[in-house]
A and B are shown apart, each in its own frame.
Chain A
Amino acid sequence: MSYNLIAILMFSTMMLMMMTGQRVFGAIGAVAAIAALSLWGVGGSDIPFASAMKLMKWYPLLTLPMFIFMGYILSESKIADDLYKMFHVWMGPLNGGLAIGTIGLMVLVSAMNGLSVAGMAIGATIALPELLRRGYDKQMVTGVIQAGSSLGILVPPSVVLVLYAMIARQPVGQLWLAGVVPGLMMAAMFVIYIAIRCWINPSLGPALPKEERTFTLKEKLSLLRAGILPLVIFAAMMMPFINGWTSLVESSAIGAMTAFVAAVLKRRMTKEVFEVSVRQTLAISCMFMWIILAALGFGAVFDGLGAVKSIENLFTEQMHLDPWTILILMQLSFLIMGTFLDDTAMLVIVAPLYVPLVQALGFDLIWYGILYTITTQVAYMTPPFGYNLFLMRAMAPPEISLRDIYGSILPFVGVMILALALVMIFPQIALWLPNHVYGK
């Protein structure tokens, strides 16, 4: 059998096994184990375990439980409530101001945690009911929250970029810095979009009525204090790292501790919050780790086959595609896969194939990491099957139907695709900051 054929067989078996709904790590691991055994006999049997040792030695992976823990503390302890109030009072008088404020809230929440789910939970529980009560258009509101939550994995710290860094063997620090400008740019684009829509049609996002704007300047200023907390957490985490006192992993532990201490000081660390955040950290960390473990085994078999070289040949030599066409085709395949796969699963499944291919085609892997992250978020939100869409459905109040959610997301997906195109055409948007800091 040719290596191409084995590779295709491995992928299709894995897809088929996943269709059965078995745990993703089981499906990936089983294909890896079967392939290893049938290709190399007994000698192949230590491939799955060898990846466990590889995983242990990959130091930055320790940031994963730290950021998950941080994210849960922030969303469970409702520290973010005060933040929302701050945006509410300051942005309320504008048409669409609360929606713009929600994007601002999401940027701050993103800077304190690395998963998009946490942002969505905070948005759906705090901002959503409030915005609906103020007569905001429900499609506008659900769209804003979903779009805003996608910033969570682009703005550092980002768990998805940690995973990408591991698979692409790229430095996490540079990847995180590369996410900053595109993340802020996307947030700005969302804000512009909301402002224009609400300016044309104020009924989409009415300004707060006069009688609700009775806050004195003093009260307004004291609300700004809520904004200090995210800055403190972010600074406590990033300052020692940027100054080179601590490594990234140590900084993540400092961040986790700061968030924990902040919750305790604000008297929000109840027994229940503690229980949920500690338990969910274990659950989600284990989920990630076991998928990575299985996927590393799969990747090792794949490397052993040398399949990437032959697939690259197939595209460039036999089909005469130029690198950009291949790159765009790859992005499109992400969009299709994202309709039924979770982003972690997607990353670990296709990365062993795509990352070396991207490198062989002569593209920058840091830049590609940012493209990948935005694309998966778009994929996540594209109807009919988007992971985020269902999550939103689960968290939103009953008067919001799945149809509303589908309708709400389309304009924001358009904005994100525009952002994606900008980063593709102007790689400097992503690469300027890391190059500047690391002085390449």
Chain B
Amino acid sequence: MPPIASLFVRYVDRLNYSIGRLVMLGIFIMVGILLWSSISKTFFLPSLWTLEVAQFAMVAYYMLGGPYSMQLGSNVRMDLFYGEWSTRKKAKVDAFSVFCLIFYLGVLLYGAVESTAYSFEYGERSPTAWRPVLWPIKVIMVVGVFLMLLQAISELLKDLAKIRDEEL
């Protein structure tokens, strides 16, 4: 494999790993926001912002955490046949079928960028009482999908290396 491929794999994997390790603690942020929401509702005036901030936190959690979950191999596959195959055969089939994934992520990224550009241009706000601007969360989503795309390409390169019996 060309050296640039191994560099790509190494840096992408390391980047997504670090982001994923950080984002995984986000579960406590979500718990915290929702607890504050219940407390403020019961004892003081209900907070306006908790619902949407919790939603934003969840989106950031799964978008930025997605690549790390891919590294962990937690995405379900239908393993009726796949489960029986050798590592090499898995790599071969994956090297083709991963283009489905890459295509999907590409279309997703295109939509995300368009929608974010729109938010910037018109200062789009959420139609709720709190009316937060929407571009920050959309930027996070663009970044998340882009990282997902990088991780998918990294997986492809790893499969190619496996097929050619090379170390990355």
Residues of A within 8 A of B (CB): 17-27, 29-30, 32-34, 36-37, 45-50, 52-53, 55-57, 59, 61-62, 65-66, 69, 240, 245-246, 249-254, 256-257, 260, 278-287, 289-291, 294, 340-342, 344-345, 385
Closest A residue to B20 by beta carbon equals: A282
Q: B49 within 8 Å of A by Cβ?
A: no
Name which residue of chain A comes closest to B50, CB basis: A250
Tell me if B74 and A283 are in contact (CB < 8 A). yes
Q: DSSP class of B's interface residues: helix, strand, loop or mixed?
A: helix
Once the chains bind, are A291 and B34 in contact (CB under 8 Å)?
no
CB-defined A-B contacts under 8 Å, sample of 27: A17-B97, A20-B93, A22-B94, A26-B104, A29-B101, A30-B101, A33-B103, A33-B104, A34-B103, A37-B107, A48-B108, A50-B111, A62-B30, A62-B58, A65-B30, A65-B58, A250-B37, A253-B34, A257-B31, A279-B72, A280-B74, A282-B23, A283-B68, A286-B75, A287-B75, A342-B76, A342-B78
Q: Which residues of A contact B101 (CB under 8 A)?
A: 22-23, 26, 29-30
Measured in the bound complex, the distance between the Cα atoms of B56 and A403 in whole Å is: 48
Determine the distance from Cα of A314 to Cα of B92 in the docked complex, in whole angstroms.
Answer: 41
Cβ-defined contact, B78 with A290, below 8 A: no
Task: Name A68's closest neighbour in chain B (CB-CB).
Answer: B27
B residues at A contact (CB < 8 Å): 20, 23-27, 30-31, 34-35, 37-38, 41-42, 51, 54-56, 58-59, 61-62, 65-66, 68-70, 72, 74-83, 85, 90, 93-94, 96-98, 100-101, 103-105, 107-108, 110-112, 114-115, 137, 141
Q: Quick one: which of A30, A286, A340 contacts B104, CB cutoff 8 A?
A: A30
| Distance (whole angstroms) from the CB of A191 to the closest CB of chain B | 32
CA–CA, A195 and B75, complex, Å? 40
Q: How far is the CA of A36 from the CA of B111 in the complex (A)?
A: 12
List of B residues within 8 angstroms of A17 by Cβ: 97, 100
Bound Cα distance from A186 to B100, whole angstroms = 42
A340 adjacent to B75 (CB under 8 Å): no
B62 proximity list for chain A (CB < 8 A):
285-286, 289-290
Minimum CB–CB distance from B35 to chain A (whole Å) comes to 6
Are the C-beta atoms of A62 and B111 separated by less than 8 Å? no
Contacts of B70 in A (CB 8 A): 23
Q: Is the CB of A46 within 8 A of B115?
A: yes
A33 to B108, CA, bound (A): 8
* Contact (Cβ within 8 A) A24 B100: no
A239, B79: Cα distance in complex, Å: 41
Report which residue of B72, B75, B85, B110 has the largest number of chain A beta carbons within 10 angstroms of its beta carbon. Answer: B75
Q: Which residues of A contact B68 (CB under 8 A)?
A: 282-283, 286
Contacts of A283 in B (CB 8 A): 68-69, 72, 74
Measured between alpha carbons, how far is A148 from B59 in the docked complex, in Å?
33
List the B side residues contacting A61 at CB < 8 Å. 58
Residues of the B chain whose Cβ atoms lie less than 8 Å from the Cβ of A284: 74
Do B61 and A282 touch across chains, with their CB atoms under 8 A apart?
yes
In the complex formed, the residue of A with least CB distance to B152 is A26
Establish whether residues A24 and B75, one from each chain, have CB atoms under 8 Å apart when the complex forms: yes
Q: Cβ of B98 and Cβ of A52 under 8 Å apart?
A: no
Which of chain B's residues have a CB closer than 8 A to the CB of A47? 111
Q: Is the CB of B27 within 8 A of A286?
A: no
Q: How far is the CA of A245 from the CA of B35 in the complex (A)?
A: 12
Nearest chain B CB to A51's CB is how many angstroms away?
A: 9
A65 closest partner in B (C-beta): B27
In angstroms, Cα B144 to Cα A1, docked, is: 37
A385 and B80 within 8 A (CB): yes
Docked pose: A254 CA to B30 CA in angstroms: 11
Cα of A25 to Cα of B94 in the assembled complex, Å: 14
In the complex, A30→B104 CA distance in Å? 5
List of B residues within 8 angstroms of A342 by Cβ:
76, 78
* Closest beta carbon of chain B to A12's beta carbon, Å: 14
CB pair A278 B27 closer than 8 Å: yes
B122, chain A: closest CB distance, angstroms? 15
A345 near B110 (CB under 8 angstroms)? no
The answer on a CB contact under 8 Å between A286 and B54 is: no
- Docked Cα-Cα span, A26 to B155, in Å, equals 13
Residue of A nearest to B55 (CB): A56
12 extra A-B contacts, CB within 8 A, seeds A62-B58, A249-B34: A20-B96, A21-B93, A22-B94, A23-B75, A29-B101, A36-B107, A56-B56, A59-B55, A65-B58, A280-B74, A286-B75, A294-B104
* CB contact between B34 and one of A34, A250, A285, A290 (< 8 Å): that residue: A250
Most buried by B among A34, A278, A285, A287: A285
Beta-carbon contact of A49 and B104 below 8 Å = no
Between A66, A290, A344, the greatest number of chain B beta carbons within 10 A of the residue's beta carbon is seen for A290
**Residues in chain B near residue A57, CB distance under 8 A:** 55
List residues of chain B with CB within 8 A of the CB of A52: 59, 108, 112, 141
